[in-house]
Structure 1
Amino acid sequence: MVYRYQSEEDAFEDPEPGSDLDVVGAGPPPPAGPSPSRFPAPSLPRPNQLVLPSNQPPPAPRVTPSVAAPRSQVYTSAQPVEPSARRGGGRLWQVVIGGAAVLVLLALCGLGAAALLLDRDATPQSTPTYQPNAAPSASVQQPQDLDSRDTDQAPLTAKELFPGKDLKLAEGQPAYQVLKTQSSGSCAVAATDEVADLLVRLGCNQVVRATLRSPGGEHLVTTGLFNLTDRANAERARDRIRQILDERQGRFLGLTAGDDTDALTSAPARVGWQVRGHYLAYALVVRADGTAVKPGDTKIREVLFDMLEAHLSKGVLQRRADIGTAGQPTGASTDGSGSQSGGEDGD
């Protein structure tokens, strides 16, 4: 790489008048005589030129007769300009001082790292509280999966669904009276025609149900669970049942429990159903006196909610899902409702 050093001698500018670098031909006109040379003769600097005292006028410049040179021809000193030893020495000292500063900085960083290591070794290590790879405690069990009979193999029992003669859903509220329970391996005993065929076709192998009298005795309800193979089949049954009821191609059956419960087989009924896991819950409600159900009867809606949601889903099936664990969230359930006319008891 070539460096260009700037100095007073290396300036590409017009020289001052009277200097040794003045342009040839800038003085007075040449005297008369023979024809001068066609080429300008530059005035070379004199290495051993004496410095005149300041009180004497400078000597007149020597002028060689010639043709005036073009204004663009400017001559510089013939001596090459070399970098001074002092400037090179200064650059060397800068490199030396910079290297020494880097060494000092590295030494300070090393001392700081050593101090941190010593401090960490001196501090007692605490046991981490979170261990992602640690095996779960043997006392904590996984929640019961209700989506299939493969993971929920225990069959339903009447005692599990209706353990006593009275069914109280909340403290301070009157209880439902349990009149009769039934557990059967044939799902057709609780339905007729296409509803029964649908349940059998989708793998229903068990139904557990009971008949209860509402608080105050105004309504009778038969409610229970159908045990299907998995959640997918339970949802298929839920979706198809509404169409079958609307077309009057089948119906759910009530469970009579004496002469005063005949309305379950003859009176118009209001029915509801919903799915949780591989179970299909249903409830059939009639008025105890056998009269027709009014469209805006809020009491029947309360009975359906009490049986399907409060008792069977959040009560029975939630306890089954909570086997061996605590705090399991309630699974989402889907339901339906409809009405059907009276018919024969399938018990």
Structure 2
Amino acid sequence: MVYRYESDEDAFEEYPGPGSDLPAPGAGSPPPAGPSPSRFPAPSLPRANQLMLPSAQPPPVARAAAPEATPLGQVYTSAHPVEPTTRRGGGRLWQAVIGGAAVLVLLALCGLGAAALLADRNQEPQTTPTLQPNAAPNPSPQRQDLDSRDTDQSPLTAKELFPAKELKLTDGQPAYQVLKTHSSGSCAVAATGEVADLLVRLGCNQVVRATLRAPGGDHLVTTGLFNLTDKVSAERTRDRLRQLLDERQGRFRGLTAGDDDGTDVLTSAPARVGWQVRGHYLAYALVVRADGTAVKSGDAKIREILFDMIEVHLSRGVLQRRADTAIAAQPTAEPTERSGTQSGSNDDELPGD
């Protein structure tokens, strides 16, 4: 770039008149080549067209300054021209470089974080089980539903009810002596009259019973289970029994163990009886005094024997073990206990056991 400045004084200087010391134009030797020096010295002003470029800082933007007075025709050439566009482009380039570096650092940090999370996840144990659509679910342990023979089809056995010669119900207490056991598919063998007819009519197909001697030897008891069709038929039998016994239209038969053991009083002496329903079973017990004398309804010992046989042994023991073999949909309702007195007369022959 070339800048040319001309002095105003030189531009309006008049030619010298005659007699002056200055030579007239065109006279004498020709002037030397190049511009003539100005008669007015130019002040020492900083050159506006020269840029100082510090090494540590970008060059400042040159402000417009008044041109210095130069002799006519003098030319100055700038060795460092001002190029603002080049400066701006360099600043943007640095911004782009710094921004790109920041993006790369951010991406690197994100990659490291993701790798760390993946490593932690791979090290964690799998706590959620894998679902297998075709795999069958694990069967839950089940209890037997005792409300019907359809869901409780296994027949009773004498071994199930009376597995040993002694029956010990409570730790530290004397045991009952099992004198004889009996099982039959005919419920009529364990009852007489209308009581036997009622059991057969309501679907009883099995009776399992035994005769035991109570601790102390003063009482004998025949106890067992009647196997009826379902819970409804068992409850109907339970509700009808008292009326039949009170009206002496039948009775439960005692089971004799032999001729010489004194158990014949079970078929002739007045007895105290009790019964209770659980599921499709009717549990019962018949208690007499070993000497054959009359029993009293308030006899505490007889009440204890009835409770031991019906509630503790048959319901909580035998039937509970049977129920625990598979899952019942609902727990069996609390059994209801009944008791009564039957006369000692026995008009019917007891079939052979």
TM-score grouping bracket, smaller chain normalisation: 0.5 to 0.7
What are the superposed Cα offsets for residues 49-94 of structure 1, whole Å, 9 maximum, x if unpaired? xxxxxxxxxxxxxxxxxxxxxxxxxxxxxxxxxxxxxxxxxxxxxx
Q: Report the Cα distance in structure 2 between the residues aligned to 1:235 and 1:220, rounded to whole angstroms.
A: 27
SS for the counterpart of 1:301 is: helix
SS for the counterpart of 2:251 is: strand
Larger Rg: 2
TM-fit CA distance, 1:137:
2.4
- Among residues 313, 319, 325, which one is paired with 2:321 in the alignment? 319
Aligned to 1:219: 219
Q: Contact conserved, 1:266 with 1:342, CA < 8 A, in 2? A: yes
Aligned to 1:171: 171
TM-fit CA distance, 1:325:
6.8
Aligned to 1:137: 138
Gaps of 5+ in 2: 1-113
Q: Report the Cα distance in structure 1 between the residues aligned to 2:303 and 2:137, rounded to whole angstroms.
A: 44
- Are the structure 2 counterparts of residues 325 and 291 from structure 1 closer, same or farther at C-alpha, using a change threshold of 3 Å? same
Residue 243 (str. 1) matches residue 226 (str. 2)? no
Q: Report the Cα distance in structure 1 between the residues aligned to 2:285 and 2:268, rounded to whole angstroms.
A: 16
Aligned to 1:73: none
**What is the alpha-carbon root mean square deviation over aligned residues?**
2.9
- Are the structure 2 counterparts of residues 126 and 289 from structure 1 closer, same or farther at C-alpha, using a change threshold of 3 Å? same
Aligned to 1:228: 228
Q: Report the Cα distance in structure 1 between the residues aligned to 2:287 and 2:175, rounded to whole angstroms.
A: 16
SS for the counterpart of 1:255 is: coil
Q: Report the Cα distance in structure 2 between the residues aligned to 1:271 and 1:120, rounded to whole angstroms.
A: 77
Q: Report the Cα distance in structure 2 between the residues aligned to 1:162 and 1:324, rounded to whole angstroms.
A: 22
Q: Report the Cα distance in structure 2 between the residues aligned to 1:283 and 1:136, rounded to whole angstroms.
A: 45
Aligned to 2:292: 290
Describe how 1:151-190 pairs up with structure 2 within 5 A. Answer: 151-190=151-190
Letter matched to residue 288 of structure 2: V
- Are the structure 2 counterparts of residues 189 and 239 from structure 1 closer, same or farther at C-alpha, using a change threshold of 3 Å? same
Q: Contact conserved, 1:147 with 1:277, CA < 8 A, in 2? A: yes
What is the count of residue pairs matched by the alignment?
Answer: 230
TM-fit CA distance, 1:171:
1.8
Q: Contact conserved, 1:318 with 1:330, CA < 8 A, in 2? A: no
TM-fit CA distance, 1:120:
9.4
Q: Report the Cα distance in structure 2 between the residues aligned to 1:149 and 1:220, rounded to whole angstroms.
A: 31
Q: Contact conserved, 2:141 with 2:326, CA < 8 A, in 1? A: yes
Aligned to 1:44: none
Identity, % of aligned positions: 75
TM-fit CA distance, 1:338:
0.4
Q: Contact conserved, 2:193 with 2:251, CA < 8 A, in 1? A: yes
Task: Give TM-score scaled by structure 1 length.
Answer: 0.61
